[in-house]
Amino acid sequence: MSKVAIITGGGSGLGQATAVRLAQEGINIVVVDVSEKGGNETVVMVKEIGVDSIFVKADVSKPEDVKNYVDQTVSHFGTIDYFFNNAGISGSGKFFLDTTLEEINQIVGINLLGALYGVRYVAEVMLKNGGGSIVNTASSAGVIGQDSVVTYSATKHGIVGLTKSMVAEYAKDGLRVNAIAPGPTETPMVKTFYEANPEMKKNATGGIPQKRLGTPEEVAELVTFLLTSKAEYINGEVIRIDGGFTNTK
């Protein structure tokens, strides 16, 4: 029987690249995104590879939307084996005291509460079925401090805490939870951020020892390994994939 993966933020960037990569492994994909256009585009890409896929529209900051995408997955596929808990936004790039309370609430709602809700409902299903594997998307800003992304960084540090603490509670029950910490990566979200803050792209690229941004496909390889690998003793880790960026900090 084919395995089943849920991917939030699956309509573009890391989520879309990972959907395609997992589909190449014969895994059925539930694409979750707030964008119907992007989500349905990913479904088409995945189905062309030869696996089953559905799209569920969701604003992950709303717990009822999160419960719905979990319920829709169980209704259609019967189980959840893998979860790429990936949806997120970066924010405006302003210094913290120049950001609005609305922006703070939006970033926390999507990046942190959305991730918490996702793990809450997905893990419930996984544990009933004997376990599963989760990869949460943190960030280089989740392992070091960075300017212009204070709220984003706070949420991504929170993702690290979520990852480690879930393992402390549920590893004994067959749950694996790891996180990735990508550095600057050529995703639509990052491109938009750098277009609004061009000096930051120059500074970021200059600070990466490999002197380039990462690609979604490179991150997708790591996520696929962490989700599906036979290396099941990897648990509670935060794997940096940033061209050496945080290694020099």
Burial 166-182 (b: 16+ CB within 10 A, else e): bbeebeeeebbbbbbbb
Q: Report angle CA 179, 159, 66 to the nearest 5 degrees.
A: 100
Q: Is 33 helix (H, G, I), strand (E, B) or coil?
A: strand
* Rounded Cα distance, 84 and 37, in Å: 20
Tokens 């509460």 locate to 113
Q: Is 56 helix (H, G, I), strand (E, B) or coil?
A: strand
Tokens 């490999």 locate to 210
Tokens coding 146: 């960075």
Q: Is 152 a catalytic residue?
A: yes
> Which listed residue (69, 82, 117, 152) is catalytic?
152
Q: Report angle CA 157, 235, 53 to the nearest 5 degrees.
A: 85
Q: Residues with catalytic annotation? A: 152
